[in-house]
Amino acid sequence: QLRQWLRRFPAADTDGNGTLTAEEARAFMASRRQGRNGQGPPTEFYVDPGWSKARFPDNAVCYMTPPEIQAIYREVFPKDPQPVFQVPQPEKALRIVGTGHSFMAPGYRTFPVICRAAGFEQPLRTHTGGGMTGSVRYKWEQENGIFGFAGKPQPKLLAAMATGAWDAMMWGPYYADRPEYYACWIDFGLKHNPNMEFYLSDAWPSLRQLRPSPKSEDELSAETFVRL
């Protein structure tokens, strides 16, 4: 792994001896984080007060009919002249839609390849983004054209889900998630796909989840990671 890192980040080899040590790798990654103002991904951010209301704006895509949603998609994505909104029920696979950030993207890319190697095709339609832009809250606002996306809907998933031809939905979690960010997706999914199932990838543990936070590496035991 260190050899691979050295090929990707030759500047990390600070002593220039052609060998990357674990200490050099850690120092290099720390400097990269500091280069991003020491912030890393934002953990506190503005959330529109509309999320606290009982109903989204009336022009939200989720309140439209399936033909209306598909018409919006075709208007917004003219370079996709023959969109596949629904697929026949596969013999083996589940028909899956999903959101997510960069943690989910590699899995989404390789999942169909793995299934193909196993002998079947995996229907998969995703709407992803980096960091916060792949969160369920952000994607719901973006797909519906509400709040910060008012008048600019991008219903990549809603247009498909509204056909009633999808079996499951997957998400990647993000900081400060609330139940309502997921409930809206679930409500819309079940409205059109009564047997739809929902899965949250919970493979993104963070030390920020622990109270109190570990004060030293000695506390990073197997028991600690079980808690995460």
- pLDDT, tens digit, 9 for 90 and up, residues 93-140: 999 999 998 888 889 999 999 999 999 999 999 999 888 889 999 999
3-class secondary structure, 97: strand
CB-based burial, 170-208: b 16+ in 10 Å, e otherwise: bbbbbeeeeeebbebbeebbeebbeebeeeeeeeeeeee
pLDDT confidence band for 215 (50 / 70 / 90): confident
Nearest CA to 205 out of 183, 181, 177, 227 is that of: 227
More confident residue, 228 or 113: 113
List, for residues 39-80, the tens digit of each pLDDT value. Answer: 567 777 889 999 999 999 999 999 999 999 999 999 999 999
pLDDT confidence band for 37 (50 / 70 / 90): low
Give the rounded percent of residues in the chain with a pLDDT score beyond 90: 58
Nearest CA to 131 out of 24, 43, 211, 3 is that of: 43
- The encoded tokens of residue 145 equal 């054209």
Confidence (pTM)? 0.77
pLDDT confidence band for 15 (50 / 70 / 90): low
Q: What is the pLDDT of residue 36?
A: 53
List, for residues 103-112, the tens digit of each pLDDT value. Answer: 888 899 999 9
Q: What is the pLDDT of residue 63?
A: 99
List, for residues 155-213, the tens digit of each pLDDT value. Answer: 999 999 999 999 999 999 998 899 999 999 999 999 999 999 999 987 667 777 777 88
Q: What is the pLDDT of residue 200?
A: 94
